[in-house]
Each structure stands twice: as structure tokens, then as C-alpha cells.
Amino acid sequence: MTQNVTESEGKYMDAQKIGKRLVALRGARRREEVATAVGISFSALCMYETGRRIARDDVKIALAEYYGVRVEDIFFTGMSRKETKKMGGKRQ
């Protein structure tokens, strides 16, 4: 059984919630486009988006930079639906 909750620095990461945030941020972009831009494989991005894996720290940073949000907003505290929708179509 895959563990969906990981503890890091006293904060909990829920892989399913993270996956949903990543999908929302990706918006209409193709997974191949995002994976190539971030420097990861298509299958890795799929696993992150489906909650099967949580990205390594360097990948977390790359994803956050690509989407123009903070690492914490994706992987720890989360964003409100309104914020996620607002950021999903936009790269800063």
C-alpha cells in the first residue's frame, strides 16, 4: 500500500491533495509540456498528479518556479480553490 501522507519538518503532506493542486495549476497545459519544462519524466509528473508519489525537494522547487507559486502553497499549506484557479492559467 502506498503511503499518502508524509511528515516533513513537522508539517504533513497529503499526496492526494498535492496531486489535485498540481492538476489545477497545470490547467490546460499538456503534461508533456510541463514535465519537459521542469526537467522530469512524463511518468513522474503523472505519479505526482495522481498522488502516487511526492516529489523530491529539487523537483518541488522546479514545479513551484514553473507555476509561479511558493513551494509551501503546493506541498504544505495549500492554496484556496480561488487562488489555485487564478494561478492555473498563468505563469509568473
Does the structure show a pLDDT above 70 at 6?
A: no
H-state helical runs in 1-92: 15-26, 31-38, 42-49, 57-67, 71-75, 81-88
User: Would you say residue 3 lies in a domain?
Assistant: no
Domain encompassing residue 18: 11-88
pTM comes to 0.74
Does the structure show a pLDDT above 90 at 85?
A: no
pLDDT digits (tens, 9 = 90+) for 23-82: 999 999 999 999 999 999 999 999 999 999 999 999 999 999 999 999 999 998 755 555
User: Would you say residue 84 lies in a domain?
Assistant: yes
List the CATH number of the domain containing 79.
1.10.260.40
Domains in the chain: how many in total? 1
User: Would you say residue 6 lies in a domain?
Assistant: no
Residue 84 CB contacts under 8 Å (≥ 6 apart), including other chains: 21, 24, 25
- Between 12 and 29, where is the model more confident? 29
Does the structure show a pLDDT above 60 at 92?
A: no
Does the structure show a pLDDT above 60 at 18?
A: yes
User: Would you say residue 5 lies in a domain?
Assistant: no
